Amino acid sequence: MDLNYLLHRHQISVMRADAAACGPSRMAHEGLAALYAGAVSRVQRGKGSGSRLIQSLATEIGNE
């Protein structure tokens, strides 16, 4: 996956956090957004390949 994928998933997570019906759901989506933001940052700095980052994210967030 590439930077556009990460940016898209980050935006979806932010929107879902904003629309969340309860606190735990909001916190979960905010946590996902933070993970994606970190991945975007790492890709932008040129550290690691996008596919490796996606695999790492999938492991961290339970493969959404």
What's the pTM?
0.71
Instruction: Name the CA dihedral angle for 61, 64, 10, 30, rounded to a multiple of 10 degrees.
Output: -60
pLDDT at 61: 64
Instruction: Decide: 50 and 1 in contact? Cβ < 8 Å.
Output: yes
Q: Are 55 and 28 in contact (CB under 8 A)?
A: no
pLDDT digits (tens, 9 = 90+) for 5-58: 999 999 999 999 999 999 999 999 999 999 999 999 888 888 655 556 566 666
CA 10/CA 26 separation, integer angstroms: 14
